């Protein structure tokens, strides 16, 4: 008794090639995804030296408004809002973190023994704020002033609990002192872009916005 057989159709070379290419693409997909995710991660903000004038003792008034020190108001310099966000490399807000800033007054003086504690007593000089749920911060201060050997800058720390995540300095875009400043010149082009922002005139004085990227 004869048996009927169903002919087997083997894939043509072109079909086999397409099948192999499709399989290879599926296997490689996770690699491409990982690469895309890596490329989309934000670069960490470069750290810089703390400098010699971090407060020896924290001042009584250390809130966001450096233009008021107790009952005194500071009237020199150009009033400015310094604002921004602190995020991790994935762009997630650093909830519960703290940002500190300190800077010299308009005459280039710090509230520190190594500088003779000559800061104008009406200028607070140091401030700290707790980041909100979006990782945002803001300070009311002056456009940073220059002093001997340094371009205008604001010292900054980011903390989470007892851990210091970042110490760096914030600069003014377009300031002629930048090109002569030894610390600014040590930054890469990307580092300069991250730490150097324009101070834009507005109805309430100048404003500058920074994004700080830290690894918690």
Tens digit of pLDDT for each residue in 148-176?
Answer: 999 999 999 999 999 999 999 999 999 99
Q: Which residue has the tokens 């490399």?
A: 89
* Helix and strand counts by DSSP (H, E) for the chain: 3, 11
pLDDT of residue 193: 97
How far is it, in rounded angstroms, from Cα 47 to Cα 39?
21
Q: What angle do CA 146, 149, 150 make, to 5 degrees?
A: 45
How far is it, in rounded angstroms, from Cα 55 to Cα 73?
20
CATH fold, domain 68-213, is Protocatechuate 3,4-Dioxygenase, subunit A (2.60.130)
pLDDT of residue 40: 81
Please tell me the pTM assigned to this model.
Answer: 0.82
Whether residue 164 contacts residue 86, with contact meaning beta carbons closer than 8 Å, is answered with: no
- If one counts every other C-beta atom within 10 angstroms of the C-beta of residue 79, the result is 17
pLDDT of residue 32: 46
How far is it, in rounded angstroms, from Cα 212 to Cα 158?
9
pLDDT of residue 10: 59
How far is it, in rounded angstroms, from Cα 90 to Cα 58?
33
Domain ranges of the chain: 11-40, 68-213
- If one counts every other C-beta atom within 10 angstroms of the C-beta of residue 199, the result is 21
Q: Which residues of 12-31 are buried (b: 16+ CB within 10 A; e: fewer)?
A: eeeeeeeeeeeeeeeeeeee
- If one counts every other C-beta atom within 10 angstroms of the C-beta of residue 110, the result is 24
How far is it, in rounded angstroms, from Cα 77 to Cα 172?
14
Whether residue 41 contacts residue 89, with contact meaning beta carbons closer than 8 Å, is answered with: yes
pLDDT of residue 30: 60
Residue among 167, 148, 75 nearest 109 (CA): 148
Output the furthest CA–CA distance in the chain (Å, rounded): 114
Whether residue 165 contacts residue 214, with contact meaning beta carbons closer than 8 Å, is answered with: yes
pLDDT of residue 12: 67
Whether residue 97 contacts residue 157, with contact meaning beta carbons closer than 8 Å, is answered with: no
pLDDT of residue 22: 61
* List of the chain residues with pLDDT < 70: 1-39
């Amino acid at each position: 008794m004869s048996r009927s057989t169903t002919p087997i159709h083997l894939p043509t070379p072109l079909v086999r090639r397409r099948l192999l290419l499709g399989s290879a693409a599926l296997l490689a997909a996770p690699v491409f995804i990982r690469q895309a995710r890596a490329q989309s991660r934000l670069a960490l903000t470069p750290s810089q030296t703390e400098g010699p004038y971090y407060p020896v003792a924290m001042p009584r008034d250390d809130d966001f408004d450096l233009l008021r020190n107790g009952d005194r108001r500071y009237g020199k310099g150009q009033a400015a809002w310094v604002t921004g966000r602190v995020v991790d490399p994935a762009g997630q807000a650093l909830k519960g973190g703290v940002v500190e800033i300190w800077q010299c007054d308009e005459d280039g003086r710090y509230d520190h023994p190594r500088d003779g504690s000559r800061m104008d007593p009406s200028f607070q000089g140091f401030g700290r704020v707790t980041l909100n749920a979006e990782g945002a911060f803001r300070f009311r201060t002056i456009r940073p002033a220059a002093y001997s050997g340094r371009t205008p800058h604001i010292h900054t720390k980011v903390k989470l609990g007892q851990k210091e995540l970042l110490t760096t300095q914030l600069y003014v875009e377009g300031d002629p002192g930048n090109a002569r400043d030894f610390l600014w010149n040590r930054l890469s082009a990307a580092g300069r872009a991250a730490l150097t922002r324009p101070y834009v005139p507005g109805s309430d004085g100048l404003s500058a916005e920074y994004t700080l990227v830290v690894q918690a």
